[in-house]
A = this chain, B = another copy of it.
């Protein structure tokens, strides 16, 4: 009866270690110790530390993007509904793949090697998806964006991605509730009285798209 490969264990250990110490500070020593093997033995499973990072992040990230793409393509529901679903999906990813999401976000814009061009690619993909959803809403009149769609997308994404610093899963129901609260915040804003308020649109929003040479 062949022992099952311990690859999944390894990836999980790596995820935990990356998330706890950060990729750069995490050591193969620490990761392998979690499996009770020596650091050299890790190379029976992967060819490098980087590959381990990829293994941690790739699955969940691809899955997330696939879901987001499906959402975009589904024109059977309105933009607001789909935005709500987007937030729910994102929260679920945090809940289910916490280390992966955390590690991924820690590395965004930090791709130093060709192997991680993939990271930035996924990042652009996600941004484009959200932007396109918001733009669609603006086109249909369902949304009214106070900024360039790209900036609005970045604001939404920032709000969601920052959850890495404070979110703790509490079970599917509570997490979905949290997601919907965030959606309400995004859609309705904070102002009392239905958002009609002098301040809200006081500045004639000179449309503005971020520079190509954005940092990071």
Which residues from chain A sit less than 8 Å from chain B, CB to CB? 19, 22, 24-25, 80-81, 83-84, 98, 102, 108-110, 134, 137, 141-147, 151-152, 154-168, 170, 174, 177-178, 180-197, 199-203, 205-206, 208, 210-211, 213-216
Contacts and interface: CB of A to CB of B under 8 A. Distances in A.
B165 A162 contact: no
A102 B215 contact: yes
B194 A102 contact: no
A181 B110 CA distance: 28
Determine how many copies of this chain the complex contains. 4
Contacts of A181: 146-147, 151, 203, 205, 208
Contacts of A109: 165
A156 to B, nearest CB: 8
Nearest to A184: B146
Contacts of A163: 154, 158
B160 A190 contact: no
A199 B177 contact: no
A87 B160 CA distance: 18
Contacts of A215: 19, 98, 102, 164-168
